[in-house]
Amino acid sequence: MSAQASSRLYLAIWGWLAGLMLLGVVLSEMNILPLPTATIVLIVLVLSVIKAALVALYYMHLKMDRRLLVLIALFPLVLIALAVGVVFSSALVKL
């Protein structure tokens, strides 16, 4: 990718990041969707995951980098999933 094209891509990603962030603020503050609070929270968190993925893939270049770096980046997410699983299962299971 040429330097000019990559700069254009970075600016486009900036637009997505700013737009998704503002969308999250509007959804949670202005009650424009007739949805329960828990659903709005879930939507805003999904928007955050999308923004984090855009930063990791394009700004941190994981999309073009070696697979080993992708695995290193994903490994903590596996641990997080395990931790979340333990927390919620311990909340549900009464010993």
Partner 1 sequence: MSQAHAASAPTATGIPNGKLGMWLFLASEVMFFTGLIGAYVVLRMSHPAWPGHEGHLSVPIGTINTLILICSSTSIVLALAAAERAAIGAVRGWLALTAVLGSVFLVVKGFEYAAKFSHHILPSTNVFWSCYFALTGFHALHVLGGIVFNLVVLGYTFNPAVWADRRKRLELAGLYWHFVDIVWIFLFPMLYLFN
How far is the C-alpha of 73 from the C-alpha of 40, rounded, in Å?
A: 28
Q: What is the 3-class SS of 73-93, one letter each residue?
A: HHHHHHHHHHHHHHHHHHHHC
Q: By CB under 8 A, is residue 85 in contact with partner 1? A: no
**Nearest approach, Cβ of residue 4 and partner 1 (Å):** 9
DSSP for residue 65 = S
- Binding residues for partner 1, rule: CB under 8 A, are 3, 6-7, 10-11, 13-14, 17-18, 21-22, 24-25, 28-29, 41, 44-45, 48, 51-52, 55-56, 58-60, 65-66, 68-69, 72-73, 75-77, 79-80, 83-84, 87
